[in-house]
Structure 1
Amino acid sequence: MDGVVIFILVVGVGSTIVLDLWAWLVAKTTGMAGTDWGVVGRWLLDIPKGRLVLDSHPDRSAPGGREKTVGWLFHYLVGLAYAMLILLVWGVDYIADPQVMPVFWVGVVISSLAGLLILMPGLGGGVLGRKLPNQAVIIVYVIIAHIAFAAGQYAFANLVASF
């Protein structure tokens, strides 16, 4: 059981840090901002109030500390959940022998689809970002960012397996 917890923590947090570093690098080199986790926090805090789409939020000010905290916690909890999903679907034997396909399916396919089909619409961008002026660019950005996330999952899974 300790190995499972260690795997989930190391792979979940480590790969999410890789994703954040990738987003930071893209923002610094291209000026294209990544996800604003404070805005995500605002969206999440509005869901219990019946506002499922952020564009219905009456407050247009910058997200505050509580919203940022909720957004960032959610971001890292999702990273942990994806690490857990790998083990739930492929079994705990994956810890000793990481393979590429599970992180491809979880880290690229599932996480990209979640972003494009749940998070993006919730933030007001529409399904697959259809309401955004640069929809194709956003889709490519999401997929490449999640390739970096999956690479982080695989690298950290191999790190755990080496111990």
Structure 2
Amino acid sequence: MLHLILFSITVGITATLVFDLWKYATDRLRGRSGSPWGLIGRWVLGLGQGRWRLDQSRRDPPGRAETATGWIFHYAVGIAYAAMLPLFWGAGYVAAPGLWPAVIVGFGLTTLAGLCLLTPAMGGGMLARNTPNQAQRIIETLQNHAIFALALYMGARAFA
């Protein structure tokens, strides 16, 4: 059991870090400031108060606790996705990781969760329909999550 926990933590953090480095680089190339982890932290903290959607009326910048919460949530989710690999495909996945499980979880599931859960919760609507450029948002989400899936697989291979 300890081996599976270590796998999940190591592979989840590694894949999330690769995702973040990719996103940081592509955001810089596009002239963007990066992911709004402070706002995501604000949303996460609001869940405890029964708010399922980010309060869009607030205009104050996220505080330190909100930003820290957002980052912790982001990496905890990455660890949870890594844990799904041996959970769904058995403990043998740790010793002999396959590409398709990493693609199913790291690309398919994460993309659906991002576009159908997180984006609506942040005010972007289902499948980013309330964003200024829905098609671009979906394409970038697909690209980013393909990198996460590849990093999940490569991290699992390195761990094995």
Aligned with 2:48: secondary structure?
Answer: helix
Structure 2 residues not aligned, in runs of 5+: none
For 1:80, the equivalent position in structure 2 comes to 79
What is the CA deviation profile of residues 84-123 of structure 1, one whole-angstrom value per residue up to 9, with x for unaligned ones? 1111100110011110000000000000000000000000
Give the TM-score of the pair, scaled to structure 1. Answer: 0.94
Instruction: Give the AA of the match of 1:116.
Output: L
For 2:59, the equivalent position in structure 1 comes to 60
> What CA distance in whole angstroms lies between the structure 1 residues aligned with 2:11 and 2:34?
21
Instruction: Give the AA of the match of 2:66.
Output: E
The ranges of structure 1 where at least 4 consecutive aligned residues each deviate by more than 4 angstroms after the TM superposition are: none
Cα gap change, 1:23/1:100 in structure 2, threshold over 3 Å: closer, same or farther? same
How big is the shift at 1:33?
Answer: 4.6
Instruction: Give the AA of the match of 2:83.
Output: M
Instruction: Give the AA of the match of 1:22.
Output: W
> What CA distance in whole angstroms lies between the structure 1 residues aligned with 2:35 and 2:126?
16
Instruction: Give the AA of the match of 1:123.
Output: M
Map 1:1-163; keep pairs closer than 5 Å: 1-54=1-54, 56-161=55-160
Give the TM-score of the pair, scaled to structure 2. Answer: 0.95
Percent of aligned pairs sharing the same letter: 41
* Paired positions, count: 160
How big is the shift at 1:57?
Answer: 4.5
